[in-house]
Amino acid sequence: MNRLNISHKIEVAFWLLLVGFFFYHSFEFDREIEIYKYGATLWPRTILLLIALAAIGQLLDQRKNGDRSSSNTMAAAHEDSAQDSEIGGLPWYLNTFVLLAIPFFYMNLSALLSLPVVQPFLPEGFNAALPVDDPGSGPVKITCAVVLFVAYLIISWRNHVGAILALPIFFAALLDDFGFYALAPVFIIGVMILMGERRITRMAMIMPLIFGLLLAFFVSLLYVGLPTGNVKPFYTFGNWIVTVLQ
């Protein structure tokens, strides 16, 4: 049943025209690259293709369900969160604020470790600037990341919405030190759990599939340099995957 209205058509037309505009201008820098056999335009054109597919997919969904499917999804998410905590109350806002602040604690780790109250607990000779070649930086970073992750799990136990908002920020905060290749599987499983998946066998099958597709797409096809991390053994693991795939 066709449930499209004029706003649906205008929206998809806008996105497709935008894709066409940028695709036309991509010929201006369509040149060969010595170290990359697919040329300079593959990456931006791939993004444009994904935008076009997303716009068409949304149009087809709206043609079948109208705006009902998206509103039902939002209502289900709101109901799921309401079962865990009272959304909108002061405790919920405070809890969510703390969850969103956790990744920033790690991002400002050097400043926190420079505090006099923390210094006695650090390894002897440890540099609070956390240089990559500091032998004490790895264990301290791993310990801090584990402590903050446990805090994230405890605080988010009754705050589903806050957990969803904070997880990608936490993932981004840890990315530079621990690398995409080690963190992505954990992030994928975390997203599946937050989306309501509880079947271990299903997650065990879906996670490697998504992770493998991401690696094949970004590393083998697009030749994108994803972060390998700088803390061992995560750095070693990331470099090994890059070497195997490229």
**Cβ contact 7:67 at 8 Å:** no
- Joined together, the tokens standing for residue 161 give 């919405």
Q: What is the CA radius of gyration of the chain?
A: 22
Q: How does pLDDT run across 195-240, given as a tens digit for each residue? A: 787 888 888 998 999 888 888 877 777 676 778 888 888 888 888 8
**Cβ contact 45:23 at 8 Å:** yes
Q: What are phi and psi of 196, to 5 degrees?
A: 105, 0
> If you ran DSSP here, which 8-state letter would residue 231 be given?
S
pTM here is 0.63
Domain locations in the chain as residue ranges: 1-66
Q: How does pLDDT run across 55-110, given as a tens digit for each residue? A: 888 888 877 776 554 455 444 444 544 444 455 577 888 888 999 899 888 888 77
226: exposed, middle or buried (Cβ count in 10 Å: 0-12, 13-18, 19+)? middle
> If you ran DSSP here, which 8-state letter would residue 215 be given?
I
